[in-house]
Amino acid sequence: MAGKAVGDEAGLWVAQEAIIIQFLPENASQPLKNAKEIVLQMPRPKFHAQFLFERACPHCRKIVRVLVHDYGELTPENLDEKTGMHNFPVLPVKCPLCAGEDWPTHAVLFDATEDRVVRRVPLGTADLPVVGGGAPYAVTYSPEEQAELERGLAKLPEFFRQKGEEFWERYCAWALSRWRDALKEISPEEWAEGYASLGVSLPGHPSPAACRKDAEARFASDKEKTAAWRALNRWLVEKEFLWIPVDQWPVEEWAARYGRERVTWLLLNLPLLEELERWRTEKLAPAVPKKTCGPQAVLWERIKQLGQALDRQRRRSEELSRLLQEERAARHNLEEKLAAARAEVSRLREELSGRPVEAGRNPEDARRIARLKSLVRELREEVLHLREMLPREEPAPDKEEPTPVTAPAEEVPRLEDVLVGRIVVAFGRVGEPLNGPVRILWHHGDRWDLDAERLAKEADVLVVLTRFCSHEAMWAAKEFAADTGKPIGFARGSGVESVLRAAADVWARQKKEQEFL
Ligand SMILES: [Zn+2]
């Protein structure tokens, strides 16, 4: 199987082609290990294949998987066909326990029948690059790069049909020029495959050495050697180099399995489309021979250096990606704490707002004042209305007392002492201003006029002489007091003594209230 995974919404995706799983060829006499050692030793003809994304939830300490694609019941060969070129969006995976979201770290091929992981590949690595940026993956391709790669890979089979013959000729010529050494690099699996396709039986004990001796004896002419070389190399060329996408070539593993000389020659000479050429350069570095000599030594050295630089970069970006993952886990932690703190703050706030206001001139006070003022205004209007209905001449003060607020006078301090330096305005009669320790000013109290307003503003304490003041003036004075917060007292008599007592009472009461507040 070859396939890749991918993301549109997040601008990220994984071309599923990057997950390479190779199965046993049906006619293989023994397990043929592929480049990535992913050999499915199939006990059953079919299995239920699922493609999943996976991450660990750092909070719940659980592995979270999300199904990306269900292939259903498949034989390995079917899977291979079906998964050819799928692009799967890479999206954050939600944890079902804590609902936290984060980017998946692995792609998983899962066998649902046996409930087992067939293959697990880290995302955003050289093994499974993610296409698109913006997520914390070490190896990402830009969409343009991926498109170019896909274009190149799509055209490769046709391209190779055209260039194949010429390639095989050169490849065989190279092998024939070093026939004995070339044969040394043929793997046991290739001997089996090649001999089977040539219709020749393997020697009784098919060790590589025995096979090589057999081949040296058996294939004498160039024509025979060429045919044999093609048969022995078909697997390597067609099922490895051409089958596995160029960006995924496991060069080092190939060098170990198929011989460094052959693999290097193929890396240098396999026909590739221009779109894929950059990968050839990149893949060459790991194949550089350990000891270099001859005219190409300098060139090899340079390739090795570049390859090492690339490798360092890659390791660094993988390290950075790991750090980023850790950072994100830490941030996740902090965010949780922050959320808890916010919840606590809003809980406290709610608790506070439910509590009665206990101090200061708070909104509740303001509301109370507003209520009082509107009550006062209503009453004053009522009074004006009543007054219009009365006969003109007499604004006769009535007997009844408007809200007598006389508090029981306990051991009252001397009135002048309480009010010393203050101005008291009495409404209800005219008189000479009194300029003692306490100033007393008078207003006729017939109605609330400009004079009344001015005096009220000057006053520290207002006193209404209830038996002499008009209703209108009284209510206006009350409104004024409610508005400004100045104390207002009520006196039955009209003498200085009455006025002072009423003023001192209300003044003291207000002082006490303010102290209490
Ligand atoms: Zn969780």
Separation CA 406–CA 509 (nearest Å): 10
- Residue 64 CA to ligand 1 centre (angstroms): 8
- Residue 323 CA to ligand 1 centre (angstroms): 20
- Domain boundary, last residue among 235, 258, 287: 287
How does the average pLDDT of the chain come out, rounded? Answer: 78
Least confident stretch, 84-88, 91-95, 156-160, 450-454: 84-88
| Structural domain contains residue 364 | no
- Residue 331 CA to ligand 1 centre (angstroms): 14
| Structural domain contains residue 360 | no
Given a contact cutoff of 8 angstroms between Cβ atoms, the answer to whether 476 and 448 are in contact is yes
| Structural domain contains residue 359 | no
| Structural domain contains residue 22 | yes
**399 and 328 within one domain:** no
**188 and 109 within one domain:** no
Structural domain total, the chain: 4
Given a contact cutoff of 8 angstroms between Cβ atoms, the answer to whether 428 and 464 are in contact is yes
**243 and 211 within one domain:** yes
- Residue 98 CA to ligand 1 centre (angstroms): 4
**451 and 426 within one domain:** yes
**H or E element, residue 491:** strand 488-491
pLDDT at 90: 83
**226 and 344 within one domain:** no
- Residue 378 belongs to a domain with what CATH number? 3.40.50
- Residue 102 CA to ligand 1 centre (angstroms): 10
- Residue 149 CA to ligand 1 centre (angstroms): 37
- Domain boundary, last residue among 287, 311, 333: 287
| Structural domain contains residue 177 | yes
Tokens for 147? 């498109």
| Structural domain contains residue 357 | no
pLDDT band at 36 (very low <50, low <70, confident <90, very high): very low
Which residue type, as a one-letter code, is found at position 451? D
Return the number of other C-beta atoms located less than 10 Å from residue 293's C-beta: 8
CA distances from 516 to 318, 460, 484 (A): 69, 20, 19
**298 and 247 within one domain:** no
* pLDDT tens string 386-400: 666 665 544 444 444
**127 and 59 within one domain:** yes
Least confident stretch, 45-54, 95-104, 200-209, 342-351: 342-351
pLDDT at 114: 84
- Residue 101 CA to ligand 1 centre (angstroms): 8
Average pLDDT on 236-241 reads 92
pLDDT at 404 over 60: no
**9 and 130 within one domain:** yes
- Residue 123 CA to ligand 1 centre (angstroms): 20
**296 and 206 within one domain:** no
For strands 423-427 and 461-465, give the pairing. Answer: parallel
Q: Which residues contact 291 (CB under 8 A, 6 or more apart)?
A: none
- Residue 69 CA to ligand 1 centre (angstroms): 23
- Residue 61 CA to ligand 1 centre (angstroms): 7
- Residue 66 CA to ligand 1 centre (angstroms): 13
- Residue 97 CA to ligand 1 centre (angstroms): 5
Q: Is 458 exposed, middle or buried (0-12, 13-18, 19+ CB in 10 A)?
A: exposed
- Residue 100 CA to ligand 1 centre (angstroms): 6
pLDDT at 310: 76
pLDDT at 183 over 90: yes
| Structural domain contains residue 254 | yes
- Residue 345 CA to ligand 1 centre (angstroms): 25
pLDDT band at 463 (very low <50, low <70, confident <90, very high): very high
* pLDDT tens string 242-301: 988 888 888 888 999 999 889 999 998 999 998 888 888 788 877 777 676 776 777 777
**160 and 247 within one domain:** yes
- Residue 55 CA to ligand 1 centre (angstroms): 10
Position of tokens 């060069």?
251
| Structural domain contains residue 112 | yes
- Domain boundary, last residue among 80, 109, 141: 141
* pLDDT tens string 212-237: 999 999 999 999 999 999 999 999 99
**417 and 307 within one domain:** no
Separation CA 285–CA 308 (nearest Å): 8
- Residue 63 CA to ligand 1 centre (angstroms): 9
- Residue 94 CA to ligand 1 centre (angstroms): 8
**179 and 75 within one domain:** no
The parent domain of residue 348 ranges over 291-352
Per-residue three-class SS string for 26-46: CCCCCCCCCCCCCECCCCCCC
Give phi and psi for 486, each to the nearest 5: -75, 145
Share of the chain above pLDDT 90, in %: 26
- Residue 322 CA to ligand 1 centre (angstroms): 19
pLDDT at 31: 35
